[in-house]
Amino acid sequence: MREIRNVAVVGGGLIGMSWASLFLARGMKVTVVDPRQEAENQLGEFVKNAWPLLSDLGLTLSEQVQEANFLTDTALLSDIDFVQECGPDRIEVKRQIVASLESVLAADVVISSSTSSLKPSDIQCDARHPERILVGHPMNPPHLVPMVELVAGKQTSEQTMTIADAFYRAMERVTIRVKKEVVGHLANRLTSALYREAVYLAAEGIADVEDIDRAISYGPGMRWALMGPHLTYHLGGGAGGYRRYLDHLGPTQEARWKEHGTAELTGALKEKLVAGVEKELQSQDKDTLVQRRDQALVEIFVLKKTYGF
């Protein structure tokens, strides 16, 4: 089995820069490919800012900030052992990227796509070596949020899944095996279901955007940072656990499910949602919010490890 030392990150946007920072911290030689020349400076600044947070998490193998190689064309890649593909989430673009990669990669190099919604079978369908392609989908930002969803396509080999799983675990990620292909995989479907209801509640005037966000962040979100919904409701069942919860409170859940709604994202609703977020932000700017979020994510992860969650 190929030893993974040289990693290519194809796509130098937010997700790609985040992946690159993590891989560098874990001692990988990283090459980032992006057609935008300005992405090189953006990458260097991102890695520099990410390094102290990665160090706080105990993920860095060197105190000195490491630098990635930068290319503007996948045709210039060589000696790559693993690819993290982070291009635009459009199927025709994904297939073009795969074609360009297969012209320079050895046949056994795994290509893992960060796609948030696309199915791996659709990405791999025109590939010369479809067995090496899978979805390795993170949550943003992947250098701080440890989950990675692994999804096999119809032609993905078990060896590819094993290699990817081992690689991400070496990057100190928490790997999730999604057993069936579905649009949005697992985590995004869960978050999308919540977001749909959040938008519907705002559209119907049931609550303001600010209060909807506070209801989650100060309510169930605090529990969800420690454990998922099934285990949360297991504790909610008291001495009888999850079985008692389902028997006694399951009907109330079903009643709420029937009341959930879907709103159309009209121009007027978009303006309402944006205005609500702008009211939440008030005097703080987005960059400051990102910095606070990232530092808090580090502290939450450390807290989870301390208490075994």
> What pLDDT digit, counting tens, does each position of 123-157 carry?
999 999 999 999 999 999 999 999 999 999 999 99
Residue 159 lies in a domain: yes
Q: How many domains does the chain have?
A: 2
Q: What is the CATH number of the domain that holds 197?
A: 1.10.1040.10
Whether 46 and 141 share a structural domain: yes
From 178, 206, 226, the end of a domain falls on 178
Whether 122 and 151 share a structural domain: yes
Residues 6+ apart with CB under 8 A from 7: 23, 28, 29, 30, 31, 80, 81, 82, 83, 84
> pLDDT-based confidence at 13, cuts 50/70/90?
very high
Q: What is the CATH number of the domain that holds 112?
A: 3.40.50.720
Residue 13 lies in a domain: yes
Whether 158 and 11 share a structural domain: yes
Whether 64 and 150 share a structural domain: yes
User: What DSSP element (H or E) covers 73?
Assistant: none
Residue 284: pLDDT over 90 = no
pTM: 0.94
Whether 111 and 201 share a structural domain: no
Residue 282: pLDDT over 90 = no
Residue 283: pLDDT over 80 = no
Whether 138 and 211 share a structural domain: no
Residue 1 lies in a domain: no
From 131, 149, 178, the end of a domain falls on 178
> pLDDT-based confidence at 278, cuts 50/70/90?
very high
Question: Is 124 exposed, middle or buried, given 0-12, 13-18 or 19+ CB atoms closer than 10 A?
Answer: buried
Residues 6+ apart with CB under 8 A from 82: 4, 6, 7, 8, 109, 110, 112, 163, 167
Quote the domain boundaries for residue 228. Answer: 187-307
Whether 256 and 111 share a structural domain: no
Whether 101 and 155 share a structural domain: yes
Average pLDDT in the 207-226 region?
A: 97
- What percent of the chain has pLDDT above 70? 100
From 155, 178, 201, the end of a domain falls on 178
Residue 232 lies in a domain: yes
Whether 235 and 166 share a structural domain: no
